[in-house]
Structure 1
């Protein structure tokens, strides 16, 4: 499934480091082969724009190529954040390589609300 590039929220882009040599290699790859890996987005609330958590470089390079769409997939955080209205289940842990790897346990409010219905 494709996502319009103007729809994505890049609010955490400045937290990522830039490596010009890697960007040149990836740009060449995008020109020759196209996008191989999807970007990862989460939607904290149904009314908010999808927030990119992985793939800032791909978005930047696709825009440089004049593309308006990109492949994407929804991250696990999107599912966790919907389990309760307070969002307390969205505690994420990170590795030293800055990859999202795990999420806090559910607060139980989702099972409590399911039991009431």
Structure 2
């Protein structure tokens, strides 16, 4: 199973094996990771699963869709060049070791 490193706003890392094809958000929710709220359950409609993807993984992600791009303009914390919605990142072996950082606030 590919590994995701979830880094909270304080810098604490929680490594979790997330099944391939599950989203980064699903991995966080299933394992009680704080900092990802996921109010809409993964429909890209709430922006409460906003994460900052470490730069070295950005090129491995699928292109951002229009809905995700729009929702990232509505996040509670600053949108950055490496902002993504964790519900839109599906895990694969190519993403093994993915590191995402949670913003200060989701709501």
TM-score by length of 1: 0.25
Report which structure shows greater RCO (CA 8 Å, sep ≥6): 2
Q: Computing the radius of gyration over CA atoms, which structure comes out larger, 1 or 2?
A: 1
TM-score by length of 2: 0.27
Give the structure with the larger helix fraction: 1
